[in-house]
Structure 1
């Protein structure tokens, strides 16, 4: 059953006007970006104070480091937003809560967005941030020898592709956390047919894929389509999906593929909620539960 908090959440964000939606794509995108940024306080709540919140230039990639203790392991977080919007600021409250509850540091990556910077720019930025963290982490006061990666939606896609590339480079990560990740460029699963009325739909996800990877041939390669890769040796995984999300079925398919490849997976489907719920700590009880589940998973994976 759809939770009543979903309808309330959908009413919070100020949507683009009819004139903005009728304008050229650049104006539409600017309106969507501005609406997401403007809704942060209403959707995500107040900032949780932490001992360390510092902006970092990771070899040209803007990042923000959150920490509650010295020499903590690090969770690299990659925000969602269809590869085209979202930012460190839109996911700030989620990162603060995870850092506070987990005892791990969180490095949030402000990667370049499409369409200004299509594939592979975002992946290159996440890789650059990881390389910087491995090299400079001790000077930042964290322990770069214990690393996990994660993200939501498009950020989950970038996180799991990065995890696979790190495996291939013999620098494997210790864990990955995938919050309703975008997995299938073909948007072929049944949930795209049946769940398109709860925030995102097949049209919007297809447009996001085309904007991120405008060359169709790229969408069949492992760096864009995670299911095209050999998944053996991927890091242990927490998968969080949402019952009323068009990505629900591809999330399940990816979790099953990881399991079939011998990867330890915990897949939790949050009932009654839709895509994007996890960062909206002020609107969803499930968001706070999910953030705390992520934190406890990281604590178990990296601290013990």
Structure 2
């Protein structure tokens, strides 16, 4: 399918802008932050709290979005950004919309970023946050409601890798992975086809990996979960890839590997879209349609007692 007209227009607007990998990590963070205003506002919430989540290294900051007084569950969302970029404010609009569409509280986690905090610091934060959500020690949340762990890009990588390290992972109702990083192979067909001229380039991905961890660790299943041989008891997965994305092939290969391990998987490729579409839901129909589709799948994890609000 041809690249979506909105994506073509977006690329034209970004023409001449430095690549994410052209400067320092702080340059990249400022570049991402500069685009926040263009994403629009998210819906109003019942309330929003800044919280801290217990971790082995520190108390990890987060932001908890309540769409109603009694949400039906909790979504732990791990933002993208190549393990290097991304902040709570960059995903505020998306988290509000996801909460409103699901009536699940959404916890955005401000996990530790590389290179200041290289692998496995951010991963450890995510493992501990999932454990805290299962245990009910996240401030203001109660147990016995469905827990969904979700993320996009490097956040999706952290979500699925962290789940593999949580002893009680079968208590997680669903993992939702948008265009996940699952391998360190830069020679796939999607890297060859889409490695230049799009929002995420092959050069960007190499830059992210180099900041995240030493190259001798990249093939570890803790960084490249496609190489894991221990996926059999993972939670059911929804994986969404983008046709025009260097990560498309590895995301779909990971879906197949989960299926081969007996994990229920729903896989969707969003034709005509490029990496990063998740946060563009306010701007054109295709990402919003996908958000509403996954919201319905998340709502379906509710048990009758959660619907009644007891």
TM-score higher than 0.5 here? yes
Instruction: Provide the alpha-carbon RMSD of the alignment.
Output: 2.2
- Whether 2:43 is the aligned partner of 1:48: answer yes
Q: How far apart, CA to CA, are the structure 2 residues paired with 1:278 and 1:210?
A: 25
Which residue in the other structure is 1:79 paired with? 79
Which residue in the other structure is 2:184 paired with? 185
Instruction: Work out whether residues 277 and 287 of structure 2, in 8 Å CA contact, stay in contact via their aligned partners in 1.
Output: yes
Q: How does 1:1-304 map to 2 (within 5 A)?
A: 1-12=2-13, 25=23, 28-42=24-38, 44-59=39-54, 60-69=59-68, 70=70, 72-137=72-137, 140-143=140-143, 145-166=145-166, 169-172=167-170, 173-196=172-195, 197-214=197-214, 216-229=215-228, 230-303=230-303
Instruction: Work out whether residues 137 and 144 of structure 1, in 8 Å CA contact, stay in contact via their aligned partners in 2.
Output: no
Q: How far apart, CA to CA, are the structure 2 residues paired with 1:213 and 1:129?
A: 21
Q: How far apart, CA to CA, are the structure 2 residues paired with 1:32 and 1:181?
A: 20
Q: How far apart, CA to CA, are the structure 1 residues paired with 2:138 and 2:159?
A: 23
Q: How far apart, CA to CA, are the structure 1 residues paired with 2:44 and 2:16?
A: 30
Once the 2 structures are TM-superposed, how far is the Cα of residue 279 of structure 1 from its aligned partner? 0.9
Instruction: Work out whether residues 82 and 205 of structure 2, in 8 Å CA contact, stay in contact via their aligned partners in 1.
Output: yes
Long gaps (5+) in structure 2: 305-310
Long gaps (5+) in structure 1: none
Instruction: Work out whether residues 51 and 64 of structure 2, in 8 Å CA contact, stay in contact via their aligned partners in 1.
Output: yes
Once the 2 structures are TM-superposed, how far is the Cα of residue 189 of structure 1 from its aligned partner? 1.4
- Mark the CA change 1:73 to 1:222 in structure 2 (over 3 Å): closer, same or farther: same
Which residue in the other structure is 2:308 paired with? none
TM, length-normalised to structure 1: 0.90
SS of alignment partner, residue 146 of structure 2: strand
Q: How far apart, CA to CA, are the structure 2 residues paired with 1:85 and 1:29?
A: 7
- Mark the CA change 1:105 to 1:31 in structure 2 (over 3 Å): closer, same or farther: same
- Please say which of residues 225-234 and 126-135 is displaced more in the overlay: 126-135
- Mark the CA change 1:262 to 1:35 in structure 2 (over 3 Å): closer, same or farther: same
Deviations 1:97-148 (A, max 9, x none): 1111111111111111111111001111112323333445475044365211
Instruction: Work out whether residues 10 and 199 of structure 1, in 8 Å CA contact, stay in contact via their aligned partners in 2.
Output: yes
Once the 2 structures are TM-superposed, how far is the Cα of residue 213 of structure 1 from its aligned partner? 1.4
Q: How far apart, CA to CA, are the structure 2 residues paired with 1:141 and 1:250?
A: 35
Instruction: Work out whether residues 173 and 301 of structure 2, in 8 Å CA contact, stay in contact via their aligned partners in 1.
Output: yes
Instruction: Work out whether residues 79 and 152 of structure 2, in 8 Å CA contact, stay in contact via their aligned partners in 1.
Output: yes
Once the 2 structures are TM-superposed, how far is the Cα of residue 7 of structure 1 from its aligned partner? 2.2
TM, length-normalised to structure 2: 0.88
